[in-house]
Amino acid sequence: MKAIIVEDSRLARLELKKLLESFDWIDIVAESGDPDQAIQLINQLKPELIFLDIQMPGKNGFELLDELSDPPIVIFTTAFDEYALRSFEYDALDYLLKPIDPDRLEKALTKASQLINNSNAESDVSVALDATSSVFIKEGEDCWMVELQKIIYFESIGNYCRVYFDKQQPLIHKSLNQLEKRLPLDLFFRVNRQQMINLKFIQDVVPWFSGNLKLILKNGTEIEVSRRHASRFKNMLSL
């Protein structure tokens, strides 16, 4: 697993690398104490995982993530516990306090490995869909042929997804990551770790806590856009 350490303290980087020596399947491909340089390294090297400090000169860890169009898995490493709640608004896998406990690190890396293995196993060679496509959906004995543009949103439930259209909510054996690879990005947008919505069903956008957004869909459903995805959402849809 390719990983990058983003940490402005050289001593902290050395300590983390020492801990990671026990995990021979972790390949530290780069390290940086400069957030702007780290962004370039992440975009260039495409790591699967980053260990990210929060308080850094020039740009904090959250601001760094805001500038990444396709962030890898994130494990925050910080000496401050007050950012824990905010970190999960960025879909962080884990939040490790310094000095890092080896057992907590092992658990975080195990989660990262499982997440990546599941994603690789779900690699789908099926053709991409477009806004005019219709899809076959089956749950138990019930079947539907649904126009993609009539699907309101998808919601992740473990390795399954619930599909919302008309008054139906079937559960299909597909992960949201699998579906995201096939769905047209000009029609569907990933708003958080659990949900992907049809942009045509947005009725209203409401500012929410901590820089987040809340979307009101035409069927009355309220869905929160995570902070990281809110930045992408505004950039994509703004004039």
Summary count for the chain: helices (H), strands (E) = 7, 15
Least reliable range by pLDDT among 17-21, 114-118, 182-186: 114-118
CA distances in angstroms from 108 to 77, 102, 113, 114, listed in the order given: 11, 10, 9, 10
- Alpha carbon of 193 to those of 66, 67, 137: distances in Å? 16, 18, 22
The pLDDT of 95-122, averaged and rounded, is 85
The model's pLDDT over 196-226, given as tens digits with 9 standing for 90+, comes to 999 999 999 998 877 678 999 999 999 999 8
pLDDT of residue 39: 96
pLDDT in tens, 145-200: 999 999 999 999 877 899 999 999 999 988 888 888 889 989 999 998 899 999 99
Model confidence pLDDT, tens digit, residues 121-136: 555 445 678 888 888 8
Mark 183-219 as b/e (b = at least 16 C-beta within 10 Å).
beeebbbbbbebbbbbeebbeeeeeeeebbbbbebee
Amino acid 222: pLDDT? 95
pLDDT band, residue 9 (cuts 50/70/90): very high
CATH topology for the 134-237 domain: OB fold (Dihydrolipoamide Acetyltransferase, E2P) (2.40.50)
Q: CATH second-level architecture of 2-121?
A: 3-Layer(aba) Sandwich (3.40)
Q: What pLDDT does 193 receive?
A: 85
pLDDT at 92: 86
- Asked which of 27-31, 117-121, 166-170 is least confident by mean pLDDT, the reply is 117-121
In sequence order, the 6+-apart residues with CB closer than 8 A to the CB of 75 are: 49, 50, 51, 52, 92, 93, 94, 95, 96, 108, 112
Percentage with pLDDT > 70 across the chain: 95
Please say if the pLDDT value at position 233 is more than 90: no
Q: What's the mean pLDDT in 95-117?
A: 90
Dump pLDDT digits (tens) for 33-45: 999 999 999 999 9
Domain range annotation of the chain: 2-121, 134-237
pLDDT, averaged across the chain: 89
| Predicted pLDDT of residue 86 | 81
pLDDT > 90: percent of the chain: 59
pLDDT band at 116 (very low <50, low <70, confident <90, very high): confident
Residue 52's pLDDT band (boundaries 50, 70, 90)?
A: very high
Q: Which pLDDT belongs to residue 118?
A: 67
